[in-house]
């Protein structure tokens, strides 16, 4: 029985025109060969299975081909030199494995051999695969030869980890970066091979195989070999999913639809089906991340504005994605993507990954429907409900009394039965007339930065006065500055009044927010008469006054009224004035 030759070897490209997905490399090398401007050393970089070694062999054959037309860069593949290189028996073309020839002695042997002219060819060509595996000393032994090689020698290096190749080697080579091959190019290449093999295949089955190849054409052909052995003369989507353990995209569509419908029972049912079929939860979550990514793209970018290959899927599947993504907002899909991304590592490390997978899906199903913050502010500004499209949902889980880091905790949306917004809250309270970047850092750091800004304007008085004060708080709408004595407060205000440009600088620094200048020994903007009394039960009157003011703020009240069942769970004071 004759030995079987796998597809990756049987259909290995023998000319530049047969190379798949590396047009930029092929064109450059072809022009170099035709013009005679061929470098003495090449470095081919890229992931596995994208054609580095194949192109190196084609280049070697073209340079030594005796039957090639001068205007054609492709080798004839029929002369003695081409046949010997193809069979690996050429004495003038050496293909060396860098992983097993790593020592200085191996490189010295190469240096000695290249001194002699080729036996029967035009060039002596040295091809070193996985060149990054060579030791540093061996690289150093190659430097001088690589910089000034004999005229009859060409070096071709290939590597999957270009960052491990020393810069001294990199700079002496003409570098070509081989890109990963697109799903469409891999699928088209496999289809041509199947036509020659007399095997039929569904288009979606080939696209599914091409996706699993991960940009490597060789990996794609290896998977195709496996599928052909199973399905014989016709390849179907069912064959591919069954043999490779891939979840069908229709299953992902059902799962995401159940999640968006806030249907945890149906969501868990689908996950249980996948468990019964023996799929790998790690692979499922990775594929689901890619699927939700495609949904976000389909929801965010109209079909006529997408570049080709942005969503690598058949037209029918893209239409299904557009239908599913239209059921939700981009923010909601982004939230699901974030949950999956954070859970991917947990599933991989978990001792019971299926349970972790189930909890992830439940977390997605119970995730609150999100509305863009800018839209909420706009609607509040107009006196409208913040959630224009409430959606029926499952009963939310009971509220937890445990303190969280978030201040507001909205629950799942329910039918809108809320009263109209309070009439005593004027809409103009929420109008933002200016949006400018705020300084970053702690209040002390921002206060120090402000001093430096004044000094950069050749102002020395204000920074001295500021040594007697502190920045109490700063935000997009309000800033409070406090001084320990009234005289320092008055000096600060007087200096700003005398030099208006300094006042403008102060306003611009805080993004146009309203600035309050206070004397800490006197009552502040708080309603409490004595906010600086000593601690009581572990918390000072000042702290309580700050929290009361935050809860009683009209904006806080308005937001709480817009989210049924929401409440202020905790308030954290990030900074206090120094006494």
3-state SS of 372-410 is CHHHHHHHHHCCCCCCCCCCCCCCCCCCCCCCCCCCECC
Identify the pLDDT of residue 560.
Answer: 80
Lowest mean pLDDT among 42-46, 374-378, 397-401: 397-401
Quick one: average pLDDT of 444-459? 87
Average pLDDT of the chain is: 79
Here the tokens at position 329 are 């907002």
Residue span(s) of the chain under CATH 1.10.8.60 come to 183-244
**Cα 465 to Cα 579: distance, rounded to the nearest angstrom:** 16
Distance of CA 154 to the CA centre of its chain: 39
Count of CB atoms within 10 A of residue 339's CB?
17
Q: Give the position of tokens 């496999």.
A: 190
Identify the pLDDT of residue 249.
Answer: 66
**Cα 251 to Cα 232: distance, rounded to the nearest angstrom:** 26
Backbone angles phi, psi at 267, to 5 degrees: -60, -50
3-state secondary structure 551-571: HHCHHHHHHHHHCCCCCECCC
Q: Give the highest mean pLDDT range of 129-143, 436-450, 510-524.
A: 129-143
Sign for the CA dihedral angle at 24, 28, 29, 33 comes to positive
Identify the pLDDT of residue 435.
Answer: 45
Identify the pLDDT of residue 317.
Answer: 77
Angle among Cα 339, 318, 359 to the nearest 5 degrees reads: 20
In CATH, the number for domain 249-366 is 1.20.272.10
DSSP state of 163: G
**Cα 98 to Cα 114: distance, rounded to the nearest angstrom:** 17
Alpha-carbon separation of residue 478 from 359, 407, 515 (angstroms): 42, 19, 6
Residue 262 has pLDDT above 60, yes or no: yes
370 touches 331 (CB < 8 A): yes
The model's confidence at residue 422, banded by pLDDT at 50, 70 and 90, is: very low
The model's confidence at residue 409, banded by pLDDT at 50, 70 and 90, is: very low
Count of CB atoms within 10 A of residue 126's CB?
23
Identify the pLDDT of residue 415.
Answer: 47
Identify the pLDDT of residue 4.
Answer: 78
The model's pTM is: 0.57
Quick one: average pLDDT of 374-398? 56
Identify the pLDDT of residue 144.
Answer: 86
Taking only the tens place, the pLDDT of each residue in 175-229 is 999 998 888 889 889 999 989 888 888 888 888 888 888 888 898 899 888 888 8
Identify the pLDDT of residue 400.
Answer: 40
Quick one: average pLDDT of 268-274? 87
Q: Give the position of tokens 């800018």.
A: 374
172 touches 147 (CB < 8 A): yes
β-bridge partners, 474: 479
**Cα 448 to Cα 246: distance, rounded to the nearest angstrom:** 57
Count of CB atoms within 10 A of residue 315's CB?
9
Count of CB atoms within 10 A of residue 37's CB?
8
94 touches 126 (CB < 8 A): yes
Q: Which residues of 159-184 are buried (b: 16+ CB within 10 A; e: fewer)?
A: bbebeebeeebeebbeebebebbbbe
Backbone angles phi, psi at 62, to 5 degrees: -65, -40
Kindly tell me the burial class for residue 435, based on how many C-beta atoms sit within 10 Å of its own C-beta (0-12, 13-18, 19 or more): exposed
Quick one: average pLDDT of 304-324? 77
Taking only the tens place, the pLDDT of each residue in 226-247 is 888 887 678 888 888 777 776 6
**Cα 38 to Cα 26: distance, rounded to the nearest angstrom:** 13
Lowest mean pLDDT among 43-47, 134-138, 562-566: 562-566
Identify the pLDDT of residue 432.
Answer: 42
Identify the pLDDT of residue 394.
Answer: 43
Here the tokens at position 353 are 């990954």
DSSP state of 101: -
Region label for 366, one of left (φ > 0), alpha (ψ between -120 and 50) or beta (otherwise): alpha
Alpha-carbon separation of residue 92 from 72, 114, 373, 492 (angstroms): 22, 9, 69, 85
Backbone angles phi, psi at 235, to 5 degrees: -105, 125
Quick one: average pLDDT of 76-103? 87
Angle among Cα 336, 339, 344 to the nearest 5 degrees reads: 125
Here the tokens at position 398 are 């009971």
**Cα 65 to Cα 19: distance, rounded to the nearest angstrom:** 18
**Cα 83 to Cα 76: distance, rounded to the nearest angstrom:** 10
Nearest one of 65, 47, 45, 54 to 12, comparing CA atoms = 54
Residue 533 has pLDDT above 60, yes or no: no
Quick one: average pLDDT of 446-455? 88
Taking only the tens place, the pLDDT of each residue in 475-527 is 777 888 988 788 888 888 888 888 888 888 888 888 777 888 887 754 445 54
Please tell us whether the domain made up of 183-244 is placed in CATH 1.10.8.60.
Answer: yes
User: What percentage of residues in the chain have a pLDDT greater than 70?
Assistant: 80
Residue span(s) of the chain under CATH 3.40.50.300 come to 7-177
Residue span(s) of the chain under CATH 1.20.272.10 come to 249-366
Kindly tell me the burial class for residue 574, based on how many C-beta atoms sit within 10 Å of its own C-beta (0-12, 13-18, 19 or more): exposed
Backbone angles phi, psi at 127, to 5 degrees: -105, 120
**Which are the contacts of 556, defined by CB distance < 8 A and separation ≥ 6?**
550, 568
At the fourth CATH level, the homologous superfamily of domain 7-177 is P-loop containing nucleotide triphosphate hydrolases (3.40.50.300)
First to last CA, the chain: 93
**Cα 81 to Cα 386: distance, rounded to the nearest angstrom:** 76
Identify the pLDDT of residue 403.
Answer: 36
Backbone angles phi, psi at 496, to 5 degrees: -65, -35
Region label for 312, one of left (φ > 0), alpha (ψ between -120 and 50) or beta (otherwise): beta
């Amino acid at each position: 029985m004759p030995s079987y030759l796998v597809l990756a070897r049987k259909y290995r490209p023998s000319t530049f025109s047969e190379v798949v997905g590396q047009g930029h490399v092929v064109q450059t090398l072809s022009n170099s060969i035709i013009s005679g401007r061929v470098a003495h050393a090449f470095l081919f970089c890229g992931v596995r299975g994208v054609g580095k070694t194949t192109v190196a062999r084609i280049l070697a054959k073209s340079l030594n081909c005796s039957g090639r037309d001068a205007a054609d860069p492709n080798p004839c593949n029929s002369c003695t030199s081409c046949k010997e290189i193809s069979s690996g028996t050429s004495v003038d073309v050496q293909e060396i494995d860098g992983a097993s020839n790593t020592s200085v002695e191996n490189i010295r042997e190469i240096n000695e051999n290249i001194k002699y002219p080729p036996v029967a060819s035009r060039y002596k060509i040295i091809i070193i695969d996985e060149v990054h595996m060579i030791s540093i000393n061996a690289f150093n032994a190659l430097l001088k030869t690589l910089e000034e090689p004999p005229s009859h020698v060409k070096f071709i290096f290939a590597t999957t980890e270009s960052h491990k190749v020393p810069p001294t080697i990199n700079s002496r080579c003409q570098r070509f970066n081989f890109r990963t091959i697109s799903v469409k190019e891999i699928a088209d290449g496999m289809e041509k091979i199947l036509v020659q093999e007399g095997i039929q295949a569904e288009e979606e089955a080939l696209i599914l195989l091409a996706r699993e190849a991960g940009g490597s054409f060789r990996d794609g052909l290896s998977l195709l070999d496996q599928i052909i052995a199973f399905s014989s003369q016709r390849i179907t989507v069912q064959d591919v999913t069954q043999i490779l353990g891939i979840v069908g995209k229709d299953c992902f569509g059902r799962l995401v639809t159940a999640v968006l419908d806030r249907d945890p029972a149906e969501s868990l049912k689908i996950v249980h089906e996948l468990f019964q079929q023996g799929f790998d939860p790690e692979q499922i979550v990775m594929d689901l991340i890619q699927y939700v990514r495609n949904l976000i793209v389909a929801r965010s970018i109209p079909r006529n504005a997408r570049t080709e290959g942005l969503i690598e899927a058949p037209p029918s599947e893209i239409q299904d994605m557009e239908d599913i993504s239209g059921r939700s907002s981009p923010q909601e899909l982004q939230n699901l993507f974030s949950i999956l991304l954070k859970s991917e590592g947990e599933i991989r490390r978990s001792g019971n990954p299926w349970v972790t997978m189930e909890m992830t899906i439940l977390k997605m199903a119970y995730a609150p429907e999100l509305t863009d913050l800018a839209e909420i502010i706009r609607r509040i500004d107009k006196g409208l409900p913040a959630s224009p499209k409430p959606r029926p949902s499952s009963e939310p889980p009971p509220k937890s009394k445990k303190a969280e880091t978030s201040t507001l905790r909205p629950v799942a949306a329910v039918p809108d039965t809320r009263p109209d917004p309070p009439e005593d809250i004027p809409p103009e309270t929420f109008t933002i007339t200016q949006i400018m970047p705020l300084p970053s850092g702690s209040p002390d750091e921002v206060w120090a930065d402000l001093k430096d800004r004044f000094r950069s304007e050749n102002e020395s008085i204000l920074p001295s006065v500021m040594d007697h004060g502190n920045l109490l708080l700063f935000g997009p709408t309000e800033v409070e500055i406090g001084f320990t004595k009234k005289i320092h407060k008055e000096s600060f205000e007087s200096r700003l009044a005398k030099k208006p440009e300094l006042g403008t600088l102060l306003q611009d620094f805080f993004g146009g927010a309203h600035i309050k200048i206070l004397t800490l020994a006197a009552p502040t903007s708080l309603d409490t008469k004595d906010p600086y009394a000593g601690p009581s039960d572990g918390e000072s009157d000042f702290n309580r006054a700050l929290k009361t003011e935050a809860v009683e703020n009209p904006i806080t009240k308005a937001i709480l009224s817009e989210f049924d069942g929401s409440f202020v769970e905790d308030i954290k004071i990030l900074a206090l004035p120094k006494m």
